[in-house]
Amino acid sequence: MALSYRSLSLIGGLISIVFITVVYATNRYYGTYLSYGSGDTIIQTFHAHSGPSGSERKWHVECLDGEAVAGIQDWVNDYQKIEVLWCKFMFPYKPPTNGLYPFYPNCHIRNYTAQFFCFSPGAFSLTVNTFITGIWDNELQFFVGRRGLDDSNIYKCCKAPSGYYLDYTSCYYMPTHDQYWEYYDSIQHIITYCASGYVMTGLSKKFNPFDLEWHIDWIQCCRIGFLSGVVFPAAVRNPPNTTILSRVARSVGAEDGDLANFIQRSDPLFKSAKQSTANAPNDFQFELSHSDRSRIAGY
């Protein structure tokens, strides 16, 4: 029996719903991370926002084990947002974590609205030899250009594994635009990236003098060095615990020079009304009182 036009329309609508909810969602999930046999991982930021924002948790846009950020890409928006993160495998002598997190045990958080570098002279021991491993945003587009709405653009910096160091005498800046303020945004190519053997250690956004809007202005790249003769101990890891983790994480604060600035935030897997951050000055960190600092000084 021939189907009526109404029946065909219903069947077509059902097929569309199944495709959108199942096929497209599956492709969207697995399309966020694209890893290649060359040691490169391309991370698309679209719909990879939110989630954990503390330095002790895995971010949605974060490099994998042994990788570091080597470049960024914007498609058509003059670098008013980040749409792609390019990670490269840089530490072949690092003992693998076999998929267990954290990939790097010593990390801290920065905000590239005003804090352009992983390194901070006032927090030398915490920030020396650190490089960018991930970015975080509270909205799906990873915008950076809206005043008031995009004041918090945080990124994660992690310390180089044992035996590796950053050659700060080799650092250079890669701009996101030419001398005529034409931006290097491209759908098909990643143009803003570090040279071979270099990783991103800084990220800035500044006002364009012509449109007076925020744009990502440059990235800083530094060479990774290796100390010969280093003996690597066998990797020792505790069993994974995905239920409750420490709520205390380390970060370099808004003011450079604050060496012992600890942050406290509610664990996303364990909500507590007593530890609510609803009244915090922003959505990812606030400073502890002096007594609290003394209490956790040994963390």
Single-letter amino acid, residue 205: K
Cα–Cα distance between 49 and 275 in angstroms, integer? 23
Per-residue tokens: 283:
């959505």
Q: Is residue 113 part of a domain?
A: yes
Counting the structural domains of the chain, the total is 1
| pLDDT tens string 220-276 | 999 999 986 665 565 555 555 444 433 333 444 444 444 333 333 333 333 333 333
**Residue 49 binned pLDDT confidence (cut-offs 50, 70, 90):** confident
- Given a cut of 90, is residue 135 above it in pLDDT? yes
Task: Evaluate the omega torsion of the peptide bond into residue 240 and state whether it is cis, within 30 degrees of 0.
Answer: no
pLDDT of 5 reads 60
CA angle 68, 73, 77 (to 5 degrees): 150
pLDDT band at 4 (very low <50, low <70, confident <90, very high): low
For residue 20, being part of any structural domain is answered with: no
Comparing 23-32, 82-91, 245-254, the range with the smallest average pLDDT is 245-254
Q: Which residue has the higher pLDDT, 247 or 106?
A: 106
| Residue found by looking up tokens 């250690």 in the block | 201
Task: Give the model's confidence band at 108: pLDDT under 50 very low, under 70 low, under 90 confident, else very high.
Answer: very high
CA 223 vs CA 70, 86, 109, 143, 297: distances in Å: 11, 16, 21, 29, 33
Residue 27 lies in a domain: no
Q: Is residue 248 part of a domain?
A: no
Buried b (16+ CB within 10 A) or exposed e, 85-99: bbbbbbbeebbebee
Flag whether 240 is in a domain: no
Among the residue ranges 115-124, 138-147, 198-207, the one predicted with the least confidence is 138-147
CA-CA distance, 27 to 7, in Å (whole number)? 29
In angstroms, the CA 252 to CA 255 distance is 8
Beta bridge partners of 264: 248
Q: What is the mean pLDDT of residues 107-126?
A: 94
9 is a domain residue: no
> Which helix (H) or strand (E) is 12 found in, with range?
helix 5-18
Residue 98 lies in domain? 33-233
Is 194 domain-assigned? yes
Which tens digit of pLDDT belongs to each residue from 137-156?
988 889 998 888 888 899 99
Answer whether residue 95 shows pLDDT above 80.
Answer: yes
Indicate whether 216 belongs to any domain.
yes
